[in-house]
């Protein structure tokens, strides 16, 4: 369904280009060797876009959860820590954070850092504040009776969270987590500014060589579009699967 629409969109774009003389699709024409090589070059950025986004989302979920749990504590200092973290991290623009982690952090710590890990750290940190808010809302939406039942069979705090509360909370927040993943895929393009060889960087490099920004960036847009449609479909599939789990 989505793919039919997508194919339609591509055809429409190509049709429009036929009408104006300004387009030069030869740069990415898979039927000629040079175009095919260019296309392969553009697509080769996919590896790092995916690796970067998925590594960052996993880390940001872990940090997010670790920051969300104190928010639910009876201890005021712990709740305060959560608020301060969320407010601070949320206030820093991602691009600024990327630059700061890549250029600033090595100076501060004396450790050198690769472009990849600078990107992962910046993306994960910046996203973790949002993950923390999502987890907090999800966990808070679970009925008090579930905690009491878990206590009554004397589960430890860790077991209660692992086997009772989080599985239910995650089912509820899955759509929101999916949104964050999509957001992460898009934000990973910003890591191109420090030289990460992902989709956007590849496109920029090709544009410099070929002077065909219109066609190359159109391909770039389509790359992100397809990627994100596939990821969204995956998230929806997971959602349906987990839901049917509960109803059998």
Partner 1 sequence: MVKTSFCAMLNLSAKAMIKVENISKTFGDFHALKNVSLEVLTGEKVVVCGPSGSGKSTLIRCINGLERHDEGLIEVADNRLTHTSSSLRAVRSSVGMVFQQFNLFPHLTVKQNLTLGPVRTRKLSQPDADKLAMAYLERVRIPEQADKFPRQLSGGQQQRVAIARSLCMEPQIMLFDEPTSALDPEMINEVLDVMSELAGSGMTMICVTHEMGFAKRVADTMVFMDHGEIVEKAPPEQFFSNPGTERCRDFLSKILAH
Contact 243, 171 (CB under 8 A): yes
**Min dist. Cβ of residue 73 to partner 1 (A):** 14
Considering only the stretches 22-30, 93-101, 152-160, 201-209, report the one whose residues sit in contact with partner 1 under the rule CB under 8 A: 152-160
Interface residue with partner 1 among 46, 155, 194, 226 (CB under 8 A) is 155
Tell me, by CB under 8 A, how many residues bind partner 1.
Answer: 21
**Residue 119 to residue 97: CA distance in whole angstroms:** 9
**Min dist. Cβ of residue 170 to partner 1 (A):** 10
**Min dist. Cβ of residue 179 to partner 1 (A):** 22
**Min dist. Cβ of residue 210 to partner 1 (A):** 53
Angle, alpha carbons 203-54-240 (nearest 5°): 115
Q: Which residues between 219 and 248 bind partner 1 (CB under 8 A)?
A: 245-248
Sign of CA dihedral 101, 118, 115, 48: negative
Q: Which residues between 158 and 187 bind partner 1 (CB under 8 A)?
A: 159, 163-164, 167-168, 171
**Residue 31 to residue 183: CA distance in whole angstroms:** 34
Interface residue with partner 1 among 33, 107, 143, 241 (CB under 8 A) is 143
Q: How far is CA 201 from CA 191, 192, 213, in A?
A: 8, 5, 13
**Residue 129 to residue 116: CA distance in whole angstroms:** 21
Interface residue with partner 1 among 21, 33, 110, 145 (CB under 8 A) is 145
């Amino acid at each position: 369904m989505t793919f039919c629409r997508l194919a339609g969109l591509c055809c429409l774009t190509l049709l429009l280009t036929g009408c104006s003389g300004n387009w030069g699709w030869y740069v990415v024409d898979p039927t000629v060797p040079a175009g095919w090589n260019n296309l392969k070059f553009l697509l080769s950025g996919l590896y790092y876009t995916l690796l970067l986004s998925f590594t960052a989302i996993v880390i940001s979920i872990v940090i997010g959860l670790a920051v969300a749990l104190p928010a639910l504590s009876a201890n005021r200092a712990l709740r305060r820590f959560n608020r301060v973290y969320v407010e601070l991290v949320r206030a820093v623009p991602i691009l600024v954070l990327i630059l700061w982690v890549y250029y600033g952090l090595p100076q501060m710590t004396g450790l050198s850092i690769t472009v990849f890990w600078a990107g992962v750290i910046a993306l994960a940190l910046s996203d973790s504040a949002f993950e923390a808010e999502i987890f907090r809302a999800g966990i808070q939406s679970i009925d008090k009776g579930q905690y009491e039942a878990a206590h009554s069979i004397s589960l430890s705090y860790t077991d209660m969270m692992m086997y009772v509360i989080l599985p239910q909370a995650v089912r509820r927040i899955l759509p929101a987590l999916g949104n964050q993943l999509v957001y992460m895929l898009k934000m990973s393009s910003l890591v191109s500014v420090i030289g990460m060889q992902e989709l956007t960087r590849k496109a920029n490099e090709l544009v410099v060589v070929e002077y065909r920004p219109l066609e190359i960036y159109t391909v770039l847009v389509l790359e992100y579009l397809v990627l994100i449609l596939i990821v969204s479909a995956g998230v929806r599939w997971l959602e349906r699967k987990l839901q049917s789990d509960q109803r059998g």
